[in-house]
Amino acid sequence: MSSPRVMHLIDSGGFYGAERALLNLVAAPGCVEHTVLRLGHKSGDRSRFVQALEMAGVRCHEGVGVHTLIGELRWILKHQRRDRPTHLHCHGYKPTILGILVGRLTGTRVLVTQHGFTNKNHKVRLYNWLSIQACRRSGVDVVCVSEPIRNKYAAHGLALAQLTVVPNAVPATQVSSLTQRLEARSRLHCRPDDFVIGFVGRLSVEKGPDRFVQLVAQLRQRGVPVAARVLGEGPMGLELQRQVGREGIGDDLKFLGFREDAALLLPGFDVVVVPSRTEGVPMTILEAMSASVPVVAFAVGGIPSVVRNHETGCLIEPGCIDKMADAVEALFLDDTQRRLMGEQGREVVEHEFSIAEQVRQYELLYAGAVSTPRVA
C-alpha cells in the first residue's frame, strides 16, 4: 500500500494554536506526504505560518484573491484534482464544510480535527453548528483534541465510532540553562530577580487577556511585585491598553506583541497564566510545561487533562480572579514549589504529549480510513 498523501485545509488568520499544532504535525518525521492549503488570505504577503511551513520543507498554497465560498470551493477542487491526495484533513469550521463538499464531489476521504470552539458572536456559533452537522450527516472521522470536545460532538448526535481523541503535542526541547533563562528575561525587558508572569496567545475574548489584566491589578493591590508580560496580538489590543491605563499598572504590565521567538522567551517566565473562557488543549500550556514553567489556568475545556493540579501547576475555578491571584501569590512565595512544578510539567509533556506519539496515532487513522472506507 502506498503512503498516504494528505492535503490539509485551514482557514488561518495568524499563527496561533491551531496553526502551531498543524505545523508540529506536518513537520514531524513520518510516512505521510503533507500539503497545506491556507484559506482566508487577504494579501500577497507571505504569512508567518506559511514561512514556517516552508522552512520545515512542507508544501503550502495560499488562496490569495479568493474571497467567496464558491471561489474557495473551486480553488480547493483545483488543487485536489492536480495533486490527487488520498485524504483531505480539515482544521476549522469553514474548511470542514468545504472539505466535506469536496470529498463528496471527488470521492476523497475526509478527516476533521476539532481544535476548540469559540462563541464570540452569533455568526461563529452558527458556523460551528453547521460544521458539526456536516460531520454528523457525512459520517466523517473527527479527531478531538480533548474529551470535552468529543463529548460536545457526541451530544450533537455523532456516533462514538466517528470520534477519536488525539491531544495536541509539542516537539522535545532541551532543558534551558541559566544563561538561556537570563537571556530570555533580557528579551522580556525584565531583571534577573524579577517575578515574571506571562500571557501568551491571541488577544481575543475567548483567551481572556482582560482577565490577565485584572489579575495583575489585583496582585499589585496585594503588594506582589510582578513583572507581567503579554506576548500576542489580536482584536482586543487597544481595549486592553486602555484597561491597563485605567488600572494604573502600566509599569507592571507590558505588551510585547507577536513574537516569533516566543518559544525562546518561555524559560524567562516564572509562571504562565492561562485565563481562557473556552479552550481545547492550548499549545501555550504544553509549550510552557515543556520549558519547565508552571501553569496557572482556569479549568475549562481540555485544560484539566494537561495540568495536574498542585503538581504541574494550579487549576482554578473558571472566572475566579481572586483564587487565581491566590495561586500566583503562593508560587511567588515558594520558588522551590515553582521549580518542582516546572520539572514535573516537563516530564508529563515528554511522556504523554510527544510529537512521535501524535504522529503515530494520526498515521493509524489515515491507514484505517484507507483500509476501511466509510460510505457517507
Query: What does 117-132 look like in DSSP terms, one character per residue?
Result: ---SSHHHHHHHHHHH
Q: Are residues 190 and 211 in the same domain?
A: yes
Is 373's pLDDT higher than 50?
no
Q: What's the domain count of the chain?
A: 2
Residue 276 included in any domain:
yes
Supply the pLDDT for residue 165. 95
Residue 307 included in any domain:
yes
Q: Are residues 33 and 113 in the same domain?
A: yes
Supply the pLDDT for residue 374. 37
Supply the pLDDT for residue 217. 98
| pLDDT tier, 376 (very low <50, low <70, confident <90, very high otherwise) | very low
Residue 75 included in any domain:
yes
Supply the pLDDT for residue 371. 37
Q: Are residues 330 and 184 in the same domain?
A: yes
Which residue's C-alpha cell is 497545506? 36
The set of cell numbers assigned to 132 is 458539526
Q: What is the mean pLDDT of the chain?
A: 92
Q: Are residues 218 and 93 in the same domain?
A: no
- Full-model pTM: 0.88
Share above pLDDT 90 across residues of the chain, in percent, rounded to a whole number: 80
Report the C-alpha gap between 333 and 329 in whole angstroms.
6
Averaged pLDDT, 36-48: 74
Range(s) of the domain holding residue 320: 178-352
Query: CA angle at residue 325 from 175 to 167, to 5 degrees?
Result: 45
Is 283's pLDDT higher than 70?
yes
Q: Are residues 19 and 137 in the same domain?
A: yes
Residue 172 near residue 250, CB atoms below 8 Å: no
For residue 57, which amino acid is it?
Answer: G
Report the C-alpha gap between 228 and 162 in whole angstroms.
43
| Residue 310 CB contacts under 8 Å (≥ 6 apart), including other chains | none
| Residue 133 CB contacts under 8 Å (≥ 6 apart), including other chains | 156
Residues in the chain: 376
Q: Are residues 51 and 146 in the same domain?
A: yes
Is 369's pLDDT higher than 90?
no
Q: Are residues 160 and 228 in the same domain?
A: no
The set of cell numbers assigned to 270 is 516564572
Residue 77 included in any domain:
yes
Q: Are residues 214 and 340 in the same domain?
A: yes
Read off the pLDDT of residues 162-188 as tens digits, 9 standing for 90 and up.
999 999 999 877 778 889 999 999 999
Residue 316 included in any domain:
yes
Read off the pLDDT of residues 234-268 as tens digits, 9 standing for 90 and up.
999 999 999 999 999 999 999 999 998 888 999 99
| Residue 333 CB contacts under 8 Å (≥ 6 apart), including other chains | none
Q: Are residues 328 and 360 in the same domain?
A: no
Q: Are residues 218 and 72 in the same domain?
A: no
Report the C-alpha gap between 69 and 356 in whole angstroms.
35
Is 118's pLDDT higher than 50?
yes
Averaged pLDDT, 355-360: 93
Q: Are residues 329 and 290 in the same domain?
A: yes
| pLDDT tier, 16 (very low <50, low <70, confident <90, very high otherwise) | confident
Q: Are residues 117 and 64 in the same domain?
A: yes
Read off the pLDDT of residues 64-94 as tens digits, 9 standing for 90 and up.
777 788 999 999 999 999 999 999 999 999 9
Tell me phi and psi for residue 109, to 5 degrees.
-70, 145
Between 122 and 277, the higher pLDDT residue: 277
Residue 376 included in any domain:
no
Averaged pLDDT, 353-359: 93
Supply the pLDDT for residue 306. 95
Residue 150 near residue 161, CB atoms below 8 Å: no
Read off the pLDDT of residues 185-195 as tens digits, 9 standing for 90 and up.
999 999 999 99
Sign of the dihedral defined by the CA atoms of residues 48, 51, 56, 62, in that order: positive
Averaged pLDDT, 194-201: 97
- CATH code where residue 191 lies: 3.40.50.2000
